Each structure stands twice: as structure tokens, then as C-alpha cells.
Amino acid sequence: MNPELSALEESDESRRVQRFTHFVTFGLILGCNALLLLGLWVSGVDLESTLAKPELYDPSNGHCVGVQWTKVAGAEGLVKVCTEWIDFSDISGQTHFLPTDKALAMGADGNLYFPGQSSENYQLIALMIFAIVVMVFGMWVKRQLIAKYQVRLQSFDHRSS
């Protein structure tokens, strides 16, 4: 067999495998991202509210402009809480507000905090596990498809010669 012809066939096969790899990669990027977005939609997790840390008034970094007496978990009776303030580190100068939909709690040190929403945390953890599974599955499918395509090309080349 002619060595030049063999090298030409190998470069043609290499080019075909590379082109197939690009198509599979592009297809899996689209497919896996669609699957991830579908998983996000089905889970119902609101990433904006889940990942946003609700802020509290910091007296060393702002000026309180509105207070309210509020029931706070861990404290007896009502507690005077700053519900509206100007944050000096915010260059927009907008007034910040205490979220009304979140419950407040008082820690052992006397500071206020928002108790964690464990159901939101579990949904977020489940969503992250789903994303990892989709990525690993996508990489496995890519390897399997490319390997099968290479075997098919090699068997086709052996039959034709």
C-alpha cells in the first residue's frame, strides 16, 4: 500500500472526526442548556430572590430614615427596627428598604438577621446537582458518539480498500 495514500486517508479521517466533534459539541451545548433551562423552569426556583442576600441597616455605613416597631423571633415584645435607610456605600443614593416578606430573628449577640429558608436551599442544591448530572451526561454522550463515529469511519475505510 502506498504510504502517501495512507497518510491522505488518515488526514481525511482526522478532518471528518474533527468536524463531527464540532457538530456534536455545538449540538450538546444547545441541548444541555435547553435541558438546564427546562430544569430551572420546572423547579420553580427564583434565582434572583434566592441568591440575593436581603440587606439590613448597618449604622456604621448608613443613615436610618424610617423606623418601625416589629415582632422579631427570639425577642420578647416588639423591637424597634430601621426599615428605611440611606446606604453611604451605594453611589446611586437610593433609599434601601427592609424586605417585608422576610421574617426577622434576633441572634444571641443581639443582632438582627434573616433566618434561612431551608426549602429554598434544598431546591437550589437539587438544581445544582441536576446541572452537574446534565453536564456529566453531556460529556459522556459526546465521548460515546465520537468513539462510535471513529469506529464507523474505520470500518468503512477497511471495507472500501
Ordered by start, the domain boundaries in the chain are 52-116, 117-161
Put residue 129 in one of left, alpha, beta given phi > 0 → left and psi -120 to 50 → alpha: alpha
pTM of the model: 0.61
Per-residue pLDDT for the chain (161 aa), expressed as one digit of tens each?
A: 566 656 656 678 889 999 999 999 999 999 999 999 999 898 888 777 677 666 777 888 888 888 889 888 888 888 888 889 888 888 888 888 888 777 888 877 878 877 765 666 788 888 899 999 999 999 999 999 999 999 998 887 666 55
pLDDT at 158: 63
Q: What is the pLDDT of residue 6?
A: 61
pLDDT number for residue 47 = 78
Q: What is the 3-state secondary structure (H, E, C) of the chain?
A: CCHHHHHHHHHHHHHHHHHHHHHHHHHHHHHHHHHHHHHHHHHCCCHHHHHCCCCCCCHHHEEEEEEEEEECECCCCEEEEEEEEEECCCCCCCEEECCCCCCCEECCCCCEECCCCHHHHHHHHHHHHHHHHHHHHHHHHHHHHHHHHHHHHHHHHHHHC
